[in-house]
Amino acid sequence: MTEKIRPLLAGNWKMNGTRDSLTEIKAIAEAITPAQALKVEALLCPPATLLYVTTALCQDSPLAVGAQDCHQHRSGAHTGDISAEMIADCFGTYVIVGHSERRRDHAETSELVRAKAEAAHAADLTAIICVGETLAERQQGQTIAVLQKQIEASVPQGSTAQNTVIAYEPVWAIGTGMVPQPSEIAEAHSFLRSDLVTRLGRTGKSMRLLYGGSANPSNAAALVGIENVNGLLVGGASLKAVDFIAMYGACLKQPA
């Protein structure tokens, strides 16, 4: 039931990166050729402060650029927030929504995440919607139930494989060096695939499902080799060009 899907390697820089880091972004942008990008898409999501300068830097590169969050409204009195329109105005094409750090730090609910994804779609951005269980939820055998609830409430009805990517990021695997067993990732992704097909029909078959949580150059090949894993959402290991490029190479080596 797996369809041919172009994988996506996405880097989430979180609250890291200053103008000095542009050398890393430039190195990544220059390393990826258009022919490679037809096989595996590459995306960087720097902090909002670097968004515009990054898209300018990537003008001649197939490296896509996105943001890490957006507000659910188009404009207005929301001090400190940025809208999906503003991201598009900076030539960003993706936005991450519902990352567990935002759900935790800003008490974001799945309903809010859905509104943000809808705002992203309205601005012609692709939304990367993050879901994932905590350690306590996994230990209580709640993983699939948690994913089901998050998908149900976070993914807009009109989502398509073009405007939406789902990232499975177990909260306990983020930044900890702990990675689920391949069978655990396969189980979660297989559930996500069938749930999306049930909800969205055919488009659910080709929607990309990323894995995120302590992915690095040493485990990238094994992770993207798991069934229904269509790429990675990488935090720490995306900050250095040499690591990002190594992971990109691992994705490219996957049999088509």
> Cβ closer to ligand 13P: 57 or 234?
234
Is residue 174 a contact residue for ligand 13P (CB under 6 A)?
Answer: yes
Stretch of residues binding ligand 13P (CB under 6 A), selected from 16-24, 83-91, 141-149, 228-236: 228-236
With beta carbons less than 8 A apart as the criterion, state whether 56 and 26 touch. Answer: no
From the candidates 99, 101, 108, 133, give the one annotated as an active-site residue.
Answer: 99
Sorted by sequence, the CB contacts under 8 Å of residue 164 that are 6+ apart come out as: 117, 121, 126, 127, 128, 129, 155, 156, 207
* Catalytic residue status for 99: yes
Is residue 108 a contact residue for ligand 13P (CB under 6 A)?
Answer: no
Stretch of residues binding ligand 13P (CB under 6 A), selected from 15-23, 56-64, 106-114, 231-239: 231-239
Sorted by sequence, the CB contacts under 8 Å of residue 207 that are 6+ apart come out as: 159, 160, 161, 164, 165, 166, 196, 200
Minimum Å distance from CB 32 to ligand 13P?
19
* Contact track, ligand 13P, 42-61, x by CB under 6 A: --------------------
Considering only residues 7, 46, 180, 213, which one is a binding residue for ligand 13P as defined by CB under 6 A? Answer: 213
Where do we find the tokens 């730090």?
A: 105
Is residue 17 a contact residue for ligand 13P (CB under 6 A)?
Answer: no
Distance CA(222)–CA(215), nearest Å, equals: 10
With beta carbons less than 8 A apart as the criterion, state whether 133 and 146 touch. Answer: yes
Minimum Å distance from CB 77 to ligand 13P?
29
Distance CA(116)–CA(252), nearest Å, equals: 31
Per residue in 9-34, is it b (16+ CB within 10 Å) or e — as a string? bbbbbbeebeeebbebbbebbebbee
Considering only residues 17, 236, 248, 251, which one is a binding residue for ligand 13P as defined by CB under 6 A? Answer: 236
Stretch of residues binding ligand 13P (CB under 6 A), selected from 49-57, 78-86, 87-95, 167-175: 167-175
As annotated, the active-site residues are 99, 169
Footprint of ligand 13P (CB under 6 A)? 12, 99, 169, 174-175, 212-215, 233-237
